[in-house]
Structure 1
Amino acid sequence: MPAIKRVVTDSRLPKTADVCVIGGGVAGVSTALELVERGLDVVLLEKGEIAAEQSSRNWGWCRQMGRDPREIPLIQISMAIWDGMDQRVEGQTGFTRCGILYLCEDEKQLAAKNDWYEKNARPAGLATRMIGAAEANELQPGCTKPWKGALYTPNDGRAEPFVAVPLMAEAFRRKGGKLFTNCAVRGLETKAGRISSVVTEKGAIACDTVVLAGGAWSRRFCHNLGIELPQLTVLNSVMRTEPIDTGLTRTCSGGGFTFRKRMDGGYTVTDNHFSVADIVPDSFRLFREFLPALMLDWSGLRLRLGKRFIEEAKLKRRWALDEVSPFEQVRILDPEPVNEVLDKAAAALKEYYPVFKPMKIAERWGGAIDAVPDAVPIISKVEKLPGFHLCTGFSGHGFGLGPGAGRLMAEIVTGAKTCVDPSPFRYTRFFDGTNPRPTTGL
């Protein structure tokens, strides 16, 4: 697993809190930070370590382009928050507006990118633009197979996930928040039809407002509450290189690879399209809900039946609050990367950009992406259980969106005017006849 910046945490569980946030990834930490800055007494509870799962394992992209149109207003808010993040957390998150290119090899790819641009970027007023072959090759020079053109957003950026989220958690503590790692939440108690306390493995906290930002674990937590959450996981494989001087500072995707420059002088490298979906018991339970997404694009997904099916089947779906929970059994979800995917991406990168031929791979890892049927996050209260809120289902978009999602979640919790229209992110869209479907985001 990627090395993360360890965060000093509190030791004595409080008896009460205004809000408990469950989950120490970017969504949970951002929500907790926003809430404590509003003067609330906030407790952040993490079963393992801060950002030890997908929030440190993602690509580190902070992008506006290529998104589902429902996410664009939220990512614009998020990018503005990222701009001030270093000052806010008193540290170096690595955020920089380096620019991102979606490089195109042929006219078909250009047409698809242009379609997204005309339907989404232009109406939203993004800085994104379509560029021709000459500019694409000038901005990302040294390719052995000159590009036909690209979709380019000069003010998109990158940051360091394994550093940024822990820095945000430290800022949360400095501002008065209470943080507990290796402290799994087993469930919630209710009184008079609403939440009355949060039950952890170390004791209970009286609290009537809870935000679940549990990433890949959210469905299992909700199931024990009797709340349906259509969510599966997708495995993405990532690697990083040792420091190497290539002169390429812009982040890009194309030709079967992606890369971005890192603070340590190396690069984060992945396949630009390919992920693996392990078949698990929930794959059959949720087949109908996810079928439209599968029908939209099979090309970037490989279904795999293996040991993950047995591992998932062995974990409890129901448990009592005085029993050891699945979250204590698996502190950190640490899937193995698919090496053939990474080998292919590395070979393609070296073929297209010979400057990478001397690169040495320092580390490889896998990450479990929490996906929902329309690939748009849930940032919402859950009316069925007053006081309960969800901030999950980011479908691989969570790192860039995280700060904006945290602000929106905090506004929903406190009843404040929201920074964007929250309706696209409502929980009820899966059950109210809306029948949400994914769009052809890039």
Structure 2
Amino acid sequence: MSMLSLRSHIPDDVIAAADSLPGQADVVVIGGGIIGAAAAFHLAGAGLRTVLLEADKISSQQSGRNWGFVRTQYRDPLELPLAVEALSLWPELERELEAPVGWRPTGCVFVAATQKEMAAFAGWHEKTRSIACDARLLSAREVTDLLPSLRGKTEGALYTATDGQAEPALATLAFGRAAARRGAHIIEDCGALAIETTAGAVSGVQTEHGLIRCNTVVCAAGAQSYRLLAPLGLSLPQQSVRSTVSLTAPLPPLSEACFCGFGIGLRQRADGSCIIAADSSSDIDLSFDSFRAARFFLPGLLRHGSGFSLRLGRPFVDDLHQRLAVPDRERAIARRPRIPANRKLAARTGAAVRDLFAGAASIEIVKSWAGRIDVLPDALPVLDAPVEIGGLVVATGFSGHGFGLAPAVGRHVARLATGEAPAAILAPLKLDRFARGTYSAPHAPL
């Protein structure tokens, strides 16, 4: 396999589909991204008969397509305690999972191109210094010392040396394989149609291949979560945006730390290749679903409209076809078409990197891809066991932040699923905050 391969589009035989569907389990996890895989790992470790369902392949969606940042830096203060917990777990993850995950403590730096950006970093630093203990502000001179190849004039930066990076597909697959070794039943190409309940409590999961009876379900289905929760009377104002990412050929050292600034995000990998993307710039592929829960998202869209590109095309046609031809409850398992990268945006991002770093004159984009990020109005996830449905745990809506959080999220999911009281740090992440109107505006643009 090429050294440049991210393994982000996983071969079919990585985790083979089960020969038969188990009729009974203690817990069914819906969703084979890193959140679901981490949850299955910890649930199986707790001795529960665990089934992990994935409508496609493990790590085939956003968990295998993200930037690979593992950061505490500039997190929403409400999410920060979970990020700090997760960061403490990453250094031991390869030993625990018995597999490489690509973890490297390379740090993270957010560079301020304007005084306004620097003021925002300073405000965050002042508010969070008691928990984000390793974060510090850098002067313009210190930025030059840290990033000698950076050409852009800066006002300073926010820097956390103990943050790091990992390889998205490697880490997700490592959790999935480790869960299987602990006895979890991993079933790919098997979507969940509905969560069944009896007398207000979970009683099973109806899949496209049959029913699995269980008393506990973890809904970690990413952008499809709202479809599974709505029939239970649970409203999740969830939308998705399309984010384009590119891989470059190896370059001279540009930034050891994961880098954000001047409109780009960059992660330089161990072989010198770089993951690059436009920071806070996403495509919204309009469909009928775009208008669902629009009132929750319209204020943010109006405030940060320059960061989004509204597109009317194939997704609208596909959505119309599904509404006319596919029964509503089967739409959750409709096979996802290939997600097209925004090639123009990828080219602009490559040019921006070339202009920003002295060592990037020979930049060559090897490949580009896109993923769909499921977002919630406050850009915070739901990590909750809602009281309305006994035996249900919801872990979704990570809004592009879930990769780095996953090691901690998996532990909390297992605790919730086994009946433990939720940790205090999960209080801001309850599902009912949207119905109650107690959520706030996003800490940073979605």
The correspondence for 1:438, drawn from 427, 439, 442, is 442
Match of 1:34 in 2: 42
- Rounded Cα–Cα distance in structure 1 between residues aligned with 2:16 and 2:205: 22
Residue 144 of structure 1, aligned match among 140, 151, 157: 151
Task: Indicate conservation of the 8 Å contact 2:223/2:240, yes or no.
Answer: yes
The residue that corresponds to 1:379 in the other structure is 383
Please report how far the alpha carbon of residue 382 of structure 1 lies from its aligned counterpart in structure 2 after TM superposition: 2.8
Cα deviations by residue, 1:12-43 (Å, 9 ceiling, x for unpaired): 32221110000000111111111111111111
Q: 2:220 matched to which residue of 1?
A: 213
Aligned-partner Cα distance in 1 for 2:402–2:62: 9
For residues 58 and 36 of structure 1, what CA distance do their matches in structure 2 show? 26
What is the SS of the residue equivalent to 2:306? Answer: coil
Give the counterpart of 2:273 among 266, 273, 285. Answer: 266
Task: Give the aligned residue type for 2:239.
Answer: L
1:133 and 2:110 correspond: no
Alignment match, 2:56: 48
Shift in Å, 1:189: 2.5
TM-score, normalised relative to structure 1: 0.93
**Partner residue in 2 for 1:362:** 366
1:35-434 matches, within 5 Å, as 35-120=43-128, 122-246=129-253, 248-316=255-323, 325-330=330-335, 332=336, 334-434=338-438
Whether the 8 Å CA contact 2:264–2:279 is kept in 1: the answer is yes
Provide the rounded CA distance (Å) in 1 between the counterparts of 2:20 and 2:56.
17
Following TM superposition, by how much is the alpha carbon of 1:302 offset from its aligned partner in structure 2, in angstroms? 2.1
Query: Counterpart amino acid of 1:299?
Result: S
Question: 1:277 and 1:48, CA in 2 relative to 1: closer, same or farther beyond 3 A?
Answer: same
Corresponding pairs, count: 438
The 1:101/1:16 distance shift into structure 2, 3 A limit, reads same
Stretches of structure 1 that go unaligned for 5 or more consecutive residues are none
SS at match of 1:299: helix
| 1:341 maps to amino acid | L
Give the TM-score normalised by structure 2: 0.92
Deviation at 1:124, TM superposition (A): 2.1
How far residue 355 of structure 1 moved from its aligned partner, in angstroms, is: 1.2
Which amino acid counterpart does residue 330 of structure 2 have in structure 1? S
**Cα distance, 1:213 vs. partner?**
0.5
Residue pair 2:251, 2:359 contacting (<8 A) in 1 also: no
The question of whether the paired residues in 1 share the 8 Å contact of 2:84 and 2:132 is answered with no
Contact 1:224 1:319 in 2 (8 A): no
2:4 aligned partner = none
3-state SS of paired residue (2:22): coil
Residue deviations 1:284-314 (CA, integer Å, cap 9, x gap): 2312111232244333222222222222233
The alignment's C-alpha RMSD in Å is 2.2
Local SS of the residue matching 2:105:
coil
